[in-house]
A and B are shown apart, each in its own frame.
Chain A
Amino acid sequence: MKARVIVTLKNGVLDPQGKAIEGALASLGVAGVGGVRQGKVFDIELEGSDRALAEERLRAACEKLLANTVIENFQIEIASP
């Protein structure tokens, strides 16, 4: 089973990297960019086919390691078989 975990900064947390990317896009002439926030994507291969169990495992992975919940939110997507 394939899953994707997306980790993003919480609203209000300053993101200097996103700001720098926003500036670089503007200097490249990419118009109309109102803001950039940088995050992380993890593509995870899971054993078994129990979606509920997979979700539970991924949630544990996020809370224990993948996200720092002081500053980050996470979102779990499990691919349809």
Chain B
Amino acid sequence: MRAAVIVFPGSNREGDMARALARATGHEPAMVWHSQTELPAGTDLVVLPGGFSYGDYLRCGAIAGRAAIMDAVRAHAARGGLTLGVCNGFQILCEGGLLPGVLMRNANLRFVCRMQHLRVERADTAFTSHYRQGQTIEVAIAHGEGNYEADDETIARLEGEGLVAFRYCDSLGRVGGEANPNGSRNDIAGIFSERRNVLGLMPHPENLIDPLVGGIDGRGLFESLAAA
């Protein structure tokens, strides 16, 4: 599994992401600057890391979603290539047209930075095979714009086609109410593309790979990818 991490001005989680990928895959990922127009030959997985690309100017992810490298990322995804966007990376995937919907300001207007439980909605994908369906995992969230919104038709399609990847829940796996940190429709924390080769999620699994810093529930995602 050869991964490429795209770095934009204002990305800040690329180092954490690279460490998680290297640990799981045994290969250091390529770090690719946003103004490049091609991915390294043999790239299996493209990762858009978290941060504040372009200072969140205009809308979160809006300018990065139209960066030069994004044509290559769209082509990679269109070929069925695995593509992961975390936090700002999820916002970039939505703004760049790789995933539907939009991430709006958190409903309570606060930047939320805390540990959060998620429910794994399905385990039969390249991103989640090392989890169990319905499993509750605990990872970190840190965002001000994570409130997933889409029109009713899109939400119905995501639900009907099983494209919701993770939902916010409490420690017992119950969704709704206080367990939803940002007001996301249907407690959505992450979604897949139609062919499930693109995943965007607000939480940070890359920060939960070492028991020294709070847990290892994020490892499953990277181990799934390494085995894909």
Contact = CB atoms under 8 A, between A and B. Distances in A.
A14 B151 CA distance: 12
B155 interface: no
Q: Chain B contact residues: over half helix, strand or loop, or mixed?
A: loop
A68 B66 CA distance: 12
Interface string A50-81: 00000000000000111010110000000000
Given A64-B66, A65-B58, A66-B58, A16 B105 contact: yes
Contact of B104 (A14, A20, A64, A66): A14
B102 A70 contact: yes
Interface residues of B, number: 20
Contacts of B76: none
Given A16-B109, A71-B102, A65 B62 contact: yes
A13 interface: yes
Chain A contact-residue range equals: 10 to 19
A20 B102 contact: no
B172 interface: no
Interface of B: 58-59, 62-63, 66, 95, 100-102, 104-109, 147, 149-151, 183
Interface of A: 13-14, 16-17, 20, 64-66, 68, 70-71
Given A16-B147, A70-B150, 16 more contacts: A13-B149, A14-B183, A16-B104, A16-B105, A16-B106, A16-B107, A16-B109, A16-B183, A65-B58, A65-B62, A68-B59, A68-B62, A68-B102, A70-B100, A70-B102, A71-B102
